[in-house]
Structure 1
Amino acid sequence: MKLNNAVIAITGAGGGLGQAMAEMLAAQGAKLALIDVNSEALNATLSLVEKAGSQGRAYGCDITNEQQVEKTFSAIVSDFGVLNGLINNAGIMRDGMLLKVKDGQVNKMSLAQFQSVLDVNVVGTFLCGREAASAMVASQSAGVIINISSVSRAGNIGQTNYSASKAAVATMAVTWGKELARFGIRTGAIAPGVVKTAMTEQMKPEAIARMEQAIPLKRMGSAEEMAQCVKFIFENDYFTARVLEIDGGIRI
């Protein structure tokens, strides 16, 4: 896919990886439909898109709400005339152990804590992927759908909910690639390792040092490096139904 003038939607575009991806794609000439539950957070991303010389529109949307997602993707097609790509980037973490036992007292991860992560990371990805694919098929436009997974999809202590969700979005990308190829739609996922974000910058220096020592390349990845992987998937027309691991060599 040529990125120049392609219309690409990004969920979770208000900051972090979503913002970095939007800025990179805008520099390639793509037009961006920016989606986030926090409408105000989208203003900064929209400014970066425009500064890069491209066009963008902001859409406030709770991706766990089916009606809001349907309305948002309908508005995107109405505003831009077409949809060529989607990055399912929005996600949350609510880490915790399945069980904690102290002094004979057992504390369990609540269903609400588990379900909240599945709702955003899995249900939200499903709804946005479905609506994006539907829009592409309706307009007979070739397209690309990319899910953001994680190295944690292999399973990680304290992340029952998050690991399960990131395994799910990876397998959805593989499944969709096999189902949607006949419509000219390619899919893929990236599985980042530890990425330098506003969240990691708040960690204590000694915690960061321990984390980086566990990574063979001895550093965290950057948002820009994750964006480069997304660019590769969009531009390589023989890539589909696969997961790119971009983790500095770390294995959980």
Structure 2
Amino acid sequence: MQIKDNVFVITGGGRGLGRAMAVHLAEQGAKLALVDLDGAALDETVGLCAEKGAEARSYICNITDEAKVEQAFAQIKQDFGQINGLVNNAGLLRDGMLIKVKDGELVGKMSLDQWQSVVDVNQTGTFLCTREAAGIMAVQGQGGVIVNISSVAKAGNIGQTNYAATKAAVASMVVTWGRELARHGIRVGGIAPGVISTDMTAQMKPEAIERLVAAVPVGRLGEMSEMAHTLQYIIENDFFNGRIVEMDGGLRM
């Protein structure tokens, strides 16, 4: 699929990876529908896309709310006339150990809210947004592309029972939807990044960054521009379907 003049929805488009991918697609001539809960951050991203000469609009939406997602995608379709691509980037981290034991006593455990909140955003939100986008694309009859952002943590990681489970789920959705939606000309791909240099990692202690870098065979963190480049590859390669790109510098958890 060509990027120029096509309409792409990016969830979590207000900042971080979502913003980087949006600006990159804007440079390629895409039209952007950016979804997030942070209106101020969305406005900033819209402005950055506009600087690249792209049409971009913001949509404040809680992707865990079925009715809100239905309304948002209907509005995007009305505003742009079509939807050609979706990037399921929005995600939530609420790390914690499953249980904590000290001196033979159970002193803590992951709460149901800690589990459910991550499942609601990362897994259910991805499902709802894809369902709405796929329905619109299928009826349009022009095909389309959907990209799920998974994580190296999908293989399992200490302290991330909730996050790892959801990232494994969205990876399996790539395979399922890649098979289901191909009949409508809709391809589905995924990216499983390792540790990427973002505003969040910039706030980490230097010694924590050093430990992360030491674990990556290529000897550095990934760049947001590299994530955006991987997204471009999936969009433009019409034979890519039902697979995950492991964009982790060789890191394995």
Report deviation, 1:141: 2.0
Paired position in structure 1 for 2:110: 109
Task: Provide, for residues 109-167 of structure 1, a one-character-per-residue CA deviation record: whole Å limited to 9, x for no partner.
Answer: 11110111000000000000000000101211210000000000000000000000000
Q: Is 1:217 equivalent to 2:235 in the alignment?
A: no
Q: Distance in 2 between matches of 1:236 and 1:175?
A: 19
The match for 1:4 is 4
Quote the residue 2:66 is aligned against.
66
Q: Which amino acid aligns with 1:103?
A: D
Give 1:103 deviation, angstroms.
2.4
Q: TM-score, normalised by structure 2?
A: 0.99
Deviations 1:72-100 (A, max 9, x none): 00000000000000000000100001010
Where does residue 93 of structure 2 map in the other structure? 93
Match in the other structure for 2:201: 200
TM-score (norm 1): 0.99
Say yes or no: does 1:15 pair with 2:15: yes
**CA shift for structure 1 position 104:** 2.5
Task: Please state if 1:140 is matched with 2:152.
Answer: no
Q: Please give the alpha-carbon distance, in whole angstroms, between the structure 2 residues aligned to 1:198 and 1:121.
A: 20
Out of 122-131 and 204-213, give the one that drifted further. 204-213
SS at match of 1:86: strand
1:5-61, CA deviations, whole angstroms, 9 ceiling, x for partnerless residues? 000000000000000000000000000000001122101100111001110110000
**Partners in 2 of 1:210 and 1:59 — Cα distance?**
38
**Identical residues among aligned pairs (%):** 59
Q: CA RMSD in A?
A: 0.6
Cα distance in 1 for partners of 2:91, 2:143 equals 26
Q: How do 1:152-167 and structure 2 match up within 5 A? A: 152-167=153-168
Query: 1:197 & 1:42 partners in 2: Cα distance?
Result: 17
Q: Report the alpha carbon displacement of residue 108 of structure 1 after superposing the two structures with TM.
A: 1.3
Greater alpha carbon shift after TM alignment, 159-168 vs 134-143:
134-143
Aligned counterparts of 1:146 and 1:83: Cα–Cα separation in 2? 14
Cα separation, 1, equivalents of 2:17 and 2:197: 10
Cα shift at 1:208: 0.6
> Counterparts of 2:7 and 2:211 in 1: how far apart (Å)?
41
Give the corresponding residue for 2:174.
173
* Pairwise CA distance, 1:207: 1.1
Could you tell me how far 1:206 is from its partner in structure 2? 1.2
Q: C-alpha separation between the residues in 2 aligned to 1:128 and 1:218? A: 36
2:185 corresponds to which letter in structure 1? G
- SS in structure 2 at match of 1:125: helix
> Which residue number in structure 1 is paired with residue 234 of structure 2?
233
